[in-house]
Amino acid sequence: MEKSWLSVLQQAQVGELLETNQFTQQYGLALTKRDVRLIAEARQDALKEARRVEVGDSITPKIIFEFCDSDYLSQDNYRDTIIRLQEIFFLYKNEMQDEITDDELLHFMKEQFETVCFGDPDYLEGTCLANFAQAIRAGYRDYSESDGYGEYAALDEVPRWDRELYLATLRELLGE
C-alpha cells in the first residue's frame, strides 16, 4: 500500500525531532519516540485549533533549540513544556496577526520565560504575550530592531520588586 504524503511528512518530522537529542543531551534533555509522537500529535492539534498551516520546516525544532538551555526545563517537564510552548506559539502568531517573525516571537518568548515568568508558561501566555500582542496590534514595531530581545520592560504593566520599589513601599507603609 502506498503511503500518503502526510504520513511521509510526519515520519520526516519525527526523525527531525529525534535528531534534536544530539544537541539537547548536553542539557540533560532527550525525547523518546513516544515523546516525539505526542509532540507531533499536539502540534497537529494546536495547528487545527489556531487554524494555521505550516509550510516548510516545523517550528517545533526551533522551539526546542531556543528553550533547551532554560533553567526551568528538566527531563521531567521537557515534553509537556515543549507541547505547551507550541500551543502558545501558534496562538500568538495569530494574535499578533503575523506581524512578527518566528524568530522574533521565539526570542521574546524565551526571554520572558526565563526572566519575568520564571518558567511559568501560563504567565507567559496570559500576561507577557498578551501585553506584547496588544502592543503589536496597536502598531508597536520597535521589536524588529532588537529581534525580539529586551522588549518587555517597555510594555510591562506590573511593577517589579526591586530595591527602590521595596524602599518606597516600606516608607509608604511606615508613613514616612
CA distance 116 to 98: 24
For the whole model, what pTM was predicted?
0.79
Q: Count other C-beta atoms under 10 Å from residue 10's C-beta.
A: 17
Query: For the chain (length 176 residues), average pLDDT per consecutive 10?
Result: 53 76 94 92 89 80 96 96 96 90 93 92 93 88 68 60 71 83
Sign, CA torsion 131/136/139/143? positive
Domain locations in the chain as residue ranges: 5-174
Three-state DSSP class for 2?
coil
CA distance 95 to 134: 8
CA distance 164 to 22: 45
